[in-house]
Structure 1
Amino acid sequence: MLQGLMNLLSLCFKPFGHDGENHETNGILGGGSRGGSREGKDGLFWFRDIGKYGSGDFSMTVVQANQVLEDQSQIESGQFGTFVGIYDGHGGPEAARYVCDHLFKHFRAITAESQGVVTAETIERAFRQTEEGFTALVSELWSTQPNMATVGTCCLVGVIYQQTLFIANLGDSRAVLGKKVGNTGGIAAMQLSTEHNANIEAIRHELKELHPNDPQIVVLKHGVWKVKGIIQVSRSIGDVYMKHERYNKEPINRKFRLPEPMNMPILSANPTIISLTFHPNDSFLIFASDGLWEHLSNEKAVDIVHSHPRAGSAKRLVEAALQEAARKREMRYSDLQKIDKKVRRHFHDDITVIVLFFNHDLISRGAVQDPPVSNRSALEHR
């Protein structure tokens, strides 16, 4: 039966190119020096195989599944250090696009106020200003585009400042460090980000403590825990219908409206932030939206990066996730590749991956990227 479905899909959807075919090098992943690296498009993939940033090399890939790409991402590197962002939108692309346009700008403005010094408070303020700006936009558009109140995005940020790494997170994207194990040649996976998803018992406990008088603060629906039975993540930018009562009413869709008054915000935009000092055994860091982690374990992802050349690392991770998604549906990867966006969402989510490789000589010398590097996933994906 499944093969019959795939035969039908093969007739309905145009096949896409495979590796090495139909590549375009028209700046799809934004600006920044290319340095001779391959950058372009391959079917539903957009990629930058390898590039340079202030502390080493990076690899970057996006694969689209939704009708309109809801993921956005960026890597910025210059005098201030390096800033990486993965923004996994939900309900539409608007919140992720807004964050990609504004979060780094706020971060740069705040660091300028403190003579370039970066702290956890710097990052927290940038998140707060971005949330406030998006909420103001929702207010401005309420009479004409009320559904902007139901759009949100997870937000994973990494900042390298001198010899310190900061990781800040809202939602369920993930940052995983590949760390060398002594002189054994082995590699260990270390998750650095804290996730905010109601399927995690600790998050359900946190929500129940914050809302002790609400027995429906988390609800199990079809085997999935959701906040108020509506959304899985407990922290995000946007989703103002779950933060401000004045936006939880008509004319937003009934499925988002709560049956009882909201006496306090249900979702939070306060990120979990950690910092650590680089160690010479820190080899690389994988940033990815949850679409990758639905199909790959931390250990598997780290092993894939460690066991192959740096160039194409991000795309290799995404391909491994898609192969696993196909296996789970008892189909061939080549058949999955033939399925177009929108229908593809039934098989996997939009996936964004950025891999940073660390050059500890550059880090210890406090080297800065000059000229600056700026790479963003394209906004025009449709």
Structure 2
Amino acid sequence: MAVVQANNLLEDHSQIESDSLSNLDSGPFGTFAGIYDGHGGPETSLRNKEGYSGNNRRFFSVVSRQWSLKAQIAAAGLRCLVRVICSGVLYIANVGDPRIFLEKLVRATGEALSIQLSTEHNACIESMRQELQSLHPYNSQIVVLKHNVWHVKGLIQVSRSIGDVYLKMAEYNREPLYAKFHLNEPFQRPILSLELAISVHELQLDDQFIIFASDGLWEHLSNQEVVDIIQRSLLNVRFSW
């Protein structure tokens, strides 16, 4: 695992847990790994495995209790991606824009290919803009192009998240929350979705690596570029021996 701290306050966390240190993916309960990419504060980037719905309920409760003293907590949110490997099967759950992909070896050619296993919930992706527009058919400004980047209501790039209560409950989109987070018109339904995306992949012998990271990496490198870096690193390790 690796983390690069971009802000004065670290808002991100990662986690690996296994029931078998000697054979990470063969124990009866498998292995768990997750990345938690926080924004607007560290409050939602939790280290524990309370669960997706539990984290949402707990955070909404925290916002309700602290609103009068710390209103900006309503603008704290989390994008996350977790994976579990158990009995040769990879289970993935994600919300927001972290990405996971698989590196697969093509034995006939020796080529290493990247196979993306998740879809980012980000307004920069056309399918996500279409999803937002279908969920909010009467809101012509649900997605806004701002500084050549698509944003939901001109405020945030992700279309799904944990937290971000100010875009899910209208009663928290007002003072004393900073004015820059205020919408010009009230909303009747949540702007951002809580829906978690889940996928399953049966691992094969030619599957080499699973790589996942937050958008901080994918803004600079493509899937294949990451695969190439891994392959060069492995080559250097082999020569060093």
Other structure's SS at 2:156 match: coil
- Asked whether the equivalents of residues 154 and 237 of structure 1 are also in contact (C-alpha less than 8 Å), the reply is yes
Higher-helix-fraction structure: 1
Partner of 1:100: 47
Q: Which has the higher contact order (CA 8 A, sep 6+)?
A: 1
Q: 2:14 aligned with 1:69, yes or no?
A: no
Which structure has the bigger radius of gyration? 1
Q: Which of the residues 239, 258, 269 maps onto 2:194?
A: 269
CA distance in 1, matches of 2:234, 2:104: 16
Q: 2:157 aligned with 1:193, yes or no?
A: no
Deviation sequence 1:286-339 (CA, Å, 0-9, x none): 111111111111001011112323999xxxxxxxxxxxxxxxxxxxxxxxxxxx
Question: How far 1:153 moved relative to its partner?
Answer: 1.1
CA distance in 2, matches of 1:161, 1:145: 41
CA distance in 1, matches of 2:236, 2:165: 40
Structure 1: 5+ residue stretches without partners: 1-59, 107-125, 313-382
Deviation sequence 1:345-380 (CA, Å, 0-9, x none): xxxxxxxxxxxxxxxxxxxxxxxxxxxxxxxxxxxx
Other structure's SS at 2:81 match: strand
- Asked whether the equivalents of residues 170 and 235 of structure 1 are also in contact (C-alpha less than 8 Å), the reply is yes
Give the structure-2-normalised TM-score: 0.91
Partner of 1:338: none
Partner of 2:23: none
Higher mean C-alpha deviation, range 277-286 or range 78-87: 78-87
Partner of 1:156: 81
Percent same amino acid among aligned pairs?
54
Q: 2:63 aligned with 1:130, yes or no?
A: no
CA distance in 2, matches of 1:80, 1:269: 27
Q: Which of the residues 211, 220, 224 maps onto 2:136?
A: 211
Structure 2: 5+ residue stretches without partners: 20-27
Other structure's SS at 1:309 match: helix
**Which stretches of structure 1, 4 residues or more, deviate above 3 A after TM superposition?**
309-312
Partner of 2:94: 169
Partner of 1:221: 146
- Asked whether the equivalents of residues 127 and 270 of structure 1 are also in contact (C-alpha less than 8 Å), the reply is no
Partner of 1:179: 104
**Over aligned residue pairs, what C-alpha RMSD do you find?**
1.6
Question: How far 1:167 moved relative to its partner?
Answer: 1.3
Q: How does 1:275-286 map to 2 (within 5 A)?
A: 275-286=200-211
CA distance in 1, matches of 2:185, 2:166: 13
Structure 1 residues 311 and 230, CA, compared in 2 at 3 Å: closer, same or farther?
A: farther
CA distance in 1, matches of 2:182, 2:65: 20
Structure 1 residues 310 and 255, CA, compared in 2 at 3 Å: closer, same or farther?
A: farther
1:61 maps to amino acid: A
Structure 1 residues 296 and 182, CA, compared in 2 at 3 Å: closer, same or farther?
A: same
Partner of 2:24: none
Give the structure-1-normalised TM-score: 0.58
1:66 maps to amino acid: N
Partner of 2:34: 85
Other structure's SS at 2:205 match: coil
1:138 maps to amino acid: V
Q: How does 1:36-75 map to 2 (within 5 A)?
A: 60-75=1-16
Q: 2:237 aligned with 1:309, yes or no?
A: no
- Asked whether the equivalents of residues 154 and 170 of structure 1 are also in contact (C-alpha less than 8 Å), the reply is yes
1:80 maps to amino acid: F
Between Structure 1 and Structure 2, how many residues are aligned? 229
Q: How does 1:104-123 map to 2 (within 5 A)?
A: 104=49, 106=50
Question: How far 1:184 moved relative to its partner?
Answer: 2.5
Structure 1 residues 305 and 148, CA, compared in 2 at 3 Å: closer, same or farther?
A: same
- Asked whether the equivalents of residues 87 and 154 of structure 1 are also in contact (C-alpha less than 8 Å), the reply is yes
CA distance in 2, matches of 1:83, 1:253: 37
CA distance in 1, matches of 2:141, 2:47: 33
